[in-house]
Structure 1
Amino acid sequence: MANNIFEKSITDSLINRVNQLTPTTPNQWGKMNVAQMLAHCNVTYEMTYENKHPKPNAFVKFMLKLFAKSTVVGSKPYKKNGQTAPQFIVKDAKDFGVEKERLVQYLKKTQELGEKHFHNRESHSFGRLTKEEWSAMFHKHLEHHLRQFGV
């Protein structure tokens, strides 16, 4: 699978790009500053590893699977300034260092758990996902936002 986030070299490359960010790295598009973007990217991992966000009810989950899943786990890159789910909207001030370190630790944890851990595992919003879908979801979202900040 392309850009397999479970491969150490891919994860290391993403972490190296995250580490190129500074508290003043400007965005190329969008409304978030770099600290807010990092916090925004952490939401995906919070939904995966923490019981921090309420799970959608059956109807909402059905609608997400029907209308959002293919966009989130598919191979097509996200569009600039696209719509995001409410729990991903970050408007308040965030601590750059804290959010950056959280993201790096989530990336390492995901890579270390590996594709066997994720294959056919239930996701927060989309039901069971294959290891390829998990990888695409994690990688594509972060790739989009690293490009947003020019790294």
Structure 2
Amino acid sequence: MKNIFDKEITNEVIKRVNLLTPKAKANWGKMSVSQMLAHCCVTYEIIYTDKHPKPNAFVKMLLKLFVKNAVVSEKPFTKNGKTAPQFIISDEREFEVEKKRLIAFMIKTQELGDLYFDGKESHSFGKLSAKEWNNSFYKHLDHHLTQFGV
């Protein structure tokens, strides 16, 4: 899996984001391109803001047992997979606003680097290695950019 903490890889992914247009159509799924960008921002909102409440201990245990490996492994996401409620974007979003937010989050994450994330507590899965963080970041972005053909 490509290393999102590498500046060249981050720039490569940003180039893909910049290929999107407000009229881009998904190859699968129900989200508009603006909703997809907002959906991708949720990953970073959970890390950098208090916008999303933490799951309680029981839910966190279930997430660690049944969801964590699907998110942090190198195995690609399946099309039309289930998503957590906080990731569901049902209202329409402004394309340029969401695109700029996502790119800013990606740059911040890359600049903080893998050492910042190694052993960092995940909202839902407990402490993750830098590799697990990388897999979750890169795999999610790649999945949705592929969804929209870039």
What TM-score do you get using the length of structure 2 for normalisation? 0.99
Distance in 1 (CA, whole Å) between partners of 2:42 and 2:137 is: 11
Q: Counterparts of 1:29 and 1:148 in 2: how far apart (Å)?
A: 6
Instruction: Provide the C-alpha distance between the structure 1 equivalents of 2:10 and 2:44, rounded to a whole number of angstroms.
Output: 14
Corresponding position of 1:41: 40
**Alpha-carbon shift at residue 72 of structure 1 (Å):** 0.3
Query: Unmatched 5+ residue regions in structure 1?
Result: none
Shift of 1:83: 0.5
Alignment-mate amino acid for residue 36 of structure 2: M
Q: Once the 2 structures are TM-superposed, how far is the Cα of residue 123 of structure 1 from its aligned partner?
A: 0.8
Runs of 4+ in 1 over 2 A off after TM superposition: none
Letter of the structure 1 residue corresponding to residue 69 of structure 2: S
Identity %: 61
Residues paired across the two proteins, number: 150
Aligned equivalents of 1:10 and 1:62: distance in 2? Answer: 33
What does residue 106 of structure 1 align with? 105
**Is 1:90 paired with 2:89?**
yes
Residue equivalent to 1:140: 139
The CA RMSD measured in Å over matched residues stands at 0.5
Partner-residue secondary structure (3-state), 1:142: helix
Q: Distance in 2 between matches of 1:71 and 1:96?
A: 28
Counterpart residue type for residue 97 of structure 1: E
Partner of 1:80: 79
Displacement after TM superposition at 1:32 (Å)? 0.2
The aligned counterpart of 1:116 is 115
Structure 1-normalised TM-score? 0.98
Between the aligned partners of 2:16 and 2:8, the Cα distance in structure 1 is 12
Question: In the alignment, what sits opposite 2:12?
Answer: 13
